[in-house]
C-alpha cells in the first residue's frame, strides 16, 4: 500500500544502471528539458545570424556553438541524474567550493566584455561565468546545512546557510549583479520556508531586503538607472526594452512568420537575455505559452514528487533547484514584457551561452537525481522508530 501511495519502485541492487535509471527517472521532466533545448536551437537559428554577420562569422556560428554546449549539458544532466543523492551532495560541495573561489577572483581576473559588470572570465575560445555554476552547488550546500540542523544535537545549519548566502550576495553585488543576488536570496528563502521557518522571520528578512534595495538605489548608479527605467511610464523605443516590447506586440497570437522578425537586427542581446522577444515576434503567443508550459511542468512535476520524499535534505535541495530554475525563467520573460526591471538573466536551456546551458544541465541533473523514485520504507516502521 505504501508503494502505491508514494510511488516507490523496488530496485534490486544488481539491476543494470541504465534500466534502473530509466525506470525511476521522471520522464516528463526529462522530455520537457529536451524540448526546451530544441526550442532554443530553433530560436537560435532565427536570432543569431545578425550577430554572426556583425562579428564576421558564418551565419550559424553561434547555433553550432550552442549545439556543442547543449551536448555537454545533456551529457552532464544524464550522468548527474544517474548518481545517488549522497554522491550528488559530495560532488556539489566540491563544485561549490571551486565556483566560490572563482567568484571571489573576479574583481582581480575577471572581465566585463564592455557590459559594465565584471561577471566573466575570458578563456579566449569561450567565457566562464562562475555565478551560473555556483547556483546548483549553493542550493545543495544550503540544503545540507538546513537538514543537519533538524537532527538532534545538530549544528545551527539555518544560521550558517544564511551567513553563506549573504556572503555570496555581497560578492555578486560587487560585480554588480543584482539579478543573481535576488535569485540566490529567493532560493535560500524557499528552502528556509520548506524547512519550517516562522513566517515572522521571513517577513523580517523581506524587510531587510527592501531596506538593502533602498540603500542600493541611493548609492549605485547602475541599480538606480535600471529601476528608473522600469518605473518610467514612457518607453524609449531605441532601448532594448523598447525593441523587445514592440516585437512582442507585433508578433500577436501567431507571429509574423519564420525569419520575418525584425527585432533580431536591433537587439544586441536578442540571442541571450531577450530571446523570448524573438520567439514572440516570429512564432507569436502560441510559442511563448508553450515555453511557459514546459517550465511549469518541470517545476510542478518535481515539487509533486518531492512531496513524497521523506529525506529532509533531498526535499530541501530539490525544492530549491526546481524553484530557482522556474523563477529564473519567470524573471527573464518578465523583463522582456516589462513586468520586472532589467536583470541581464538568461532563459534556462534556451538562451545562448555555455555557462548558462551547462550549469542548467547540471542543476536539472541534480533535480532528476533527487526526484527519482526509490524505496521509502514502511510508514509503520518510521512511526515506530520515532516512538522509541
pLDDT tens for the 388 residues of the chain, in order: 344 444 444 445 556 888 888 999 999 999 999 999 999 999 988 888 888 888 888 888 889 999 999 999 999 999 999 999 999 999 999 999 999 999 999 988 888 877 777 888 888 778 889 999 999 999 999 999 999 988 877 788 888 999 999 999 999 988 888 888 889 999 999 999 898 877 777 788 778 778 877 877 777 676 677 676 666 666 666 677 777 888 888 888 888 887 777 788 877 777 888 888 889 999 999 999 999 999 999 999 999 999 988 899 999 999 999 999 999 999 999 888 888 877 778 899 999 888 999 999 999 999 999 999 876 544 344 544 555 5
Q: Exposure pattern of 2-24 as b/e (b: 16+ CB <10 Å)?
A: eeeebebeebeeeeeeeebbeeb
Q: Is 268 exposed, middle or buried (0-12, 13-18, 19+ CB in 10 A)?
A: middle
Return the closest-CA partner of residue 139 out of 77, 177, 76, 187.
Answer: 187
Map grid coordinates 528556509 to a residue: 192
Backbone angles phi, psi at 127, to 5 degrees: -125, 160
In DSSP terms, 121 is beta-bridged to 128
Q: Are 325 and 298 in contact (CB under 8 A)?
A: yes
- Phi and psi, residue 365, nearest 5°: -60, -45
- Helix residue ranges per DSSP H, the chain: 2-6, 17-24, 27-47, 49-54, 61-81, 85-104, 106-109, 130-149, 157-173, 178-194, 199-219, 221-231, 240-251, 275-307, 312-336, 354-371, 379-387
User: Is 0.85 surpassed by the pTM of this model?
Assistant: yes
Question: Quick one: how far is CA 365 from the chain centroid?
Answer: 12
- What's the CA angle centered on 355, arms 30 and 52, to 5 degrees? 105
Phi, psi of 128 (to 5 degrees): -130, 125
Contact call for residues 330 and 43 (beta carbons, < 8 A) = no
**CA-based nearest residue to 66, from 41, 48, 101:** 41
| Cβ contacts of 320 within 8 Å, gap of 6 or more | 139, 142, 143, 187, 188, 190, 191
pLDDT in the model for residue 383:
46
CA dist list (Å): 347 to 83, 229, 258, 356, 388: 26, 22, 21, 8, 49
Collapsing DSSP states into helix, strand and coil, what is residue 121?
A: strand
- How far is it, in rounded angstroms, from Cα 282 to Cα 330? 20
Which SS3 state, helix, strand or coil, does residue 82 take?
A: coil
DSSP state of 264: G
CA angle 104, 106, 112 (to 5 degrees): 155
| Cell (9 digits) for 123 | 578563456
Helix axes 178-194, 130-149, angle to 10 degrees: 20
| Helix, coil or strand: residue 280 | helix
Q: Is 12 left (phi over 0), alpha (psi -120 to 50) or beta?
A: beta
Q: Are 304 and 279 in contact (CB under 8 A)?
A: no
The residue whose grid cell reads 522600469 is 230
- pLDDT (0 to 100) of residue 380: 42
Plot region of 374 (φ>0 → left; ψ -120 to 50 → alpha; else → beta): beta
Amino acid at each position: 500500500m505504501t508503494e502505491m501511495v508514494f510511488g516507490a519502485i523496488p530496485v534490486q541492487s544488481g539491476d543494470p544502471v541504465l534500466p534502473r535509471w530509466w525506470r525511476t527517472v521522471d520522464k516528463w521532466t526529462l522530455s520537457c528539458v529536451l524540448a526546451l533545448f530544441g526550442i532554443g536551437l530553433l530560436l537560435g537559428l532565427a536570432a543569431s545570424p545578425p550577430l554572426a554577420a556583425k562579428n564576421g562569422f558564418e551565419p550559424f556560428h553561434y547555433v553550432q556553438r550552442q549545439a556543442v554546449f547543449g551536448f555537454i549539458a545533456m551529457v552532464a544532466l544524464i550522468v548527474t541524474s544517474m548518481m545517488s543523492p549522497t554522491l550528488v551532495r559530495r560532488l556539489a560541495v566540491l563544485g561549490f567550493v571551486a565556483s566560490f573561489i572563482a567568484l571571489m577572483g573576479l574583481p582581480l581576473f575577471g572581465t566585463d566584455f564592455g557590459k559594465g559588470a565584471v561577471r566573466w572570465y575570458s578563456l579566449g575560445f569561450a567565457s566562464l561565468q562562475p555565478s551560473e555554476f555556483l547556483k546548483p552547488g549553493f542550493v545543495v550546500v544550503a540544503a545540507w546545512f538546513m537538514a543537519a540542523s533538524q537532527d538532534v544535537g545538530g549544528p545551527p545549519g539555518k544560521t550558517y546557510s544564511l551567513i553563506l548566502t549573504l556572503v555570496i550576495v555581497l560578492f555578486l553585488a560587487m560585480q554588480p549583479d543584482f539579478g543573481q543576488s535576488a535569485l540566490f536570496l529567493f532560493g535560500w528563502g524557499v528552502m528556509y520556508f520548506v524547512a519550517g521557518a516562522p513566517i515572522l522571520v521571513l517577513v523580517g528578512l523581506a524587510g531587510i531586503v527592501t531596506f538593502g534595495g533602498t540603500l542600493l538605489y541611493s548609492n549605485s548608479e547602475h541599480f538606480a538607472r535600471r529601476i528608473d527605467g522600469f518605473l518610467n511610464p514612457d518607453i524609449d523605443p531605441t532601448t532594448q526594452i523598447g525593441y523587445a516590447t514592440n516585437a512582442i506586440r507585433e508578433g500577436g497570437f501567431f507571429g509574423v512568420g519564420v525569419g520575418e522578425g525584425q527585432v533580431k537586427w536591433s537587439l544586441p542581446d536578442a540571442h541571450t537575455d531577450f530571446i523570448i522577444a524573438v520567439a514572440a515576434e516570429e512564432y507569436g503567443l502560441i510559442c511563448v505559452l508553450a515555453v511557459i508550459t514546459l517550465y511549469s511542468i518541470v517545476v510542478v512535476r518535481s515539487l509533486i514528487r518531492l512531496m513524497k520524499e521523506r529525506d529532509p535534505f533531498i526535499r530541501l535541495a530539490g525544492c530549491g533547484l526546481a524553484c530557482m530554475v522556474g523563477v529564473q525563467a519567470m524573471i527573464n520573460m518578465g523583463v522582456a514584457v516589462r513586468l520586472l526591471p532589467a536583470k541581464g538573466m538568461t532563459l534556462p536551456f534556451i538562451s545562448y551561452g555555455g555557462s548558462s546551458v551547462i550549469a542548467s544541465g547540471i542543476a536539472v541533473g541534480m533535480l532528476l537525481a533527487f526526484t527519482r523514485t526509490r524505496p521509502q520504507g514502511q510508514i509503520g516502521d518510521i512511526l515506530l522508530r520515532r516512538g522509541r
